[in-house]
Chains A and B, each alone.
Chain A
Amino acid sequence: MFHWLEKNPFFFAVAVFVVIAYAGIVTILPDFMNSARPVVGTKPYTVLQLAGRHAYIKDSCNACHSQLIRPFKSETDRYGMYSLSGEYAYDRPFLWGSKRTGPDLMRVGNYRTTDWHENHMLDPISVVPGSIMPKYTHMFSNPANIETAYAEAFTIKKVFNVPYDKADMPKLGTYEEATKMALAEAKPIVEDMKSPEVKAAFARGEIKEIVAIIAYLNSLK
């Protein structure tokens, strides 16, 4: 064996790496496997929430807002319980962010509500004096992309075994069922909103981007 390794420099290098990294492999990897499992109560996003998440990514919310609360008193006082890695189990990709121009949004669903988000997206300065966040009025006219969200959910269910349609987990079903569920989920949010444009569109069976992103933000707990 050693004789063979000495004659094959590439495999020798691999063997050297394994020997040197051994301590890391036995201590770090099993811990990764453990902590990457979903925390009890963590559920995959529903189709509507996923559509909101797409809007979140599309408009680069993560460029200014982080989604990771570090275990420091100063952080948990302001944003809530520190984040656990298992809470990101269904985040593809995770949206930890690298910079807090705005506040952390990991648990924004605990302390902001639909009506607040509506006011804030229409005109941030009206509720947060001095805010430098731009207005996101286009979210009130753009339709939410339910089709793409369903495609993503369907794909991750098939490819990564994300537990849709399991007991106590969000239902996915066929595209028609998923659209119906998205509408049902959007209903209470639209009812809590004031925008006549959004309400009129919902009456026609359309879900605006703002509804989806509020569903997503409210789900962040």
Chain B
Amino acid sequence: MNWLNDNVNLLGLLGAAAIIIITVFVVGKYIKQIKNEKSTGELVGEDWDGIGEYKNPLPIGWSLSFIGTMVWVLWYFLIGYPLGGYSQIGEYNEEVAAYNTKFESKWANPDEQTLLGMGEGVFLVQCAPCHGVTGDGINGKAADMSRWGTELAIVDTIVKGSKGMGYPLGDMPAGMLDKESATAVAAYVFEKIAKAGKSKNSDLVATGEALWPTCAACHGQDGKGMSGSSPNISNYGKPEFVVDVLNHGKKGDIGTMPSFNDGRLTDIQKLAVGKYVNSLIE
């Protein structure tokens, strides 16, 4: 290995040589001065056992930087670091504010694909521990997201009841209708109330409409939940419906879902989760 081929090595060696030469020169100068020169100057008055002291004024530059340091210390102590503005929490707040500004400007007008991607990310972190990575509810440990949002799930809800959303009108008891009527109502709700597309049992829509008053008693004629007294089912199968569940949480028969309105998710993230959950419906 040729040490001198490397530029950094070469520079380092040159620097070392320069330091040695300068050191030898400077030390030599001072040694010579100690040997040959006699000190001169004006003595101050005192004399301690034959030892005196020259009048030796401070260099201007040194005095200025000394005074400057004292001024800086006062500033630092009172206004700068310890007693003044800095705090860890302040730092945190700045970090959050900067992040939120960036988040809002970056995702101000997200397209469908972006929302789905964002929703998937949030779902995997916040929802997957209970609903499973694929959203299948892990063998009945939580709601099955592929069934949720379909007519079948409406039938389930009518037959088994629904509880724990915390609406003023309270829980929905099980067995409001038998399975056949429930299927008809589900078709009606799916097609006419939620306007979620063509029902699989389109022929039952008229029957369902006739049975609708049972539901309308709480959910309102238009299914909108009578201004917050009960869940708005007119947006069933839409992202907004997911957002509603996220905001309320649910203490159902399978288990308890905590609400997500403690600031952990922003509105746009909730909507994104809604979009993603809707994309899981089979």
**Bound CA–CA A184/B129 (angstroms):** 29
Interface segment out of the listed B10-18, B42-50, B68-76, B256-264: B256-264
Are A73's CB and B99's CB within 8 A? yes
Chain B residues lying within 8 Å of A77, measured Cβ to Cβ, are 264
Are B126's CB and A27's CB within 8 A? no
**A60 an interface residue at 8 Å Cβ cutoff?**
no
Chain B residues lying within 8 Å of A82, measured Cβ to Cβ, are 89, 92
Give the dominant DSSP class at A's interface: helix
Mask of B165-203 contacts with A, CB within 8 angstroms, 1/0:
000000000000000000000000000000000000000
Interface segment out of the listed A9-17, A111-119, A148-156: A111-119
Are B92's CB and A113's CB within 8 A? no
**Bound CA–CA A129/B258 (angstroms):** 21
**Bound CA–CA A115/B140 (angstroms):** 12
Are B92's CB and A116's CB within 8 A? no
Mask of A19-54 contacts with B, CB within 8 angstroms, 1/0:
000000001000000000000000000000000000
Interfacial residues of chain B within 100-131, with CB under 8 A of chain A in the complex? 125-126, 129-130
**Bound CA–CA A80/B262 (angstroms):** 8
Are B92's CB and A112's CB within 8 A? no
Are A71's CB and B262's CB within 8 A? no
- Interface residues of B, CB < 8 Å — how many? 25
Are A73's CB and B129's CB within 8 A? no
Chain B residues lying within 8 Å of A73, measured Cβ to Cβ, are 92, 95-96, 99
**B41 an interface residue at 8 Å Cβ cutoff?**
no
Interfacial residues of chain B within 219-266, with CB under 8 A of chain A in the complex? 254-258, 262, 264
**B138 an interface residue at 8 Å Cβ cutoff?**
yes
**A192 an interface residue at 8 Å Cβ cutoff?**
yes
Given contacts A73-B92, A116-B255, contact A127 B82 (CB under 8 A): no
Are A192's CB and B129's CB within 8 A? no
Given contacts A126-B138, A127-B130, A129-B133, contact A113 B89 (CB under 8 A): no
Are A192's CB and B99's CB within 8 A? no
Are A27's CB and B82's CB within 8 A? yes
**A72 an interface residue at 8 Å Cβ cutoff?**
yes
**13 contacting pairs across A/B (C-beta < 8 A):** A27-B82, A71-B91, A76-B96, A77-B264, A82-B92, A111-B258, A112-B129, A113-B255, A113-B256, A116-B129, A116-B130, A127-B141, A129-B133
Which residues of A line the B interface, CB within 8 A?
27, 71-73, 76-78, 80, 82, 110-116, 119, 126-129, 192
Beyond A77-B264, A112-B129, 14 additional contacts (C-beta under 8 Å) are A71-B91, A73-B95, A73-B99, A80-B264, A82-B92, A111-B126, A111-B264, A112-B258, A113-B258, A115-B254, A115-B255, A116-B255, A119-B141, A127-B141
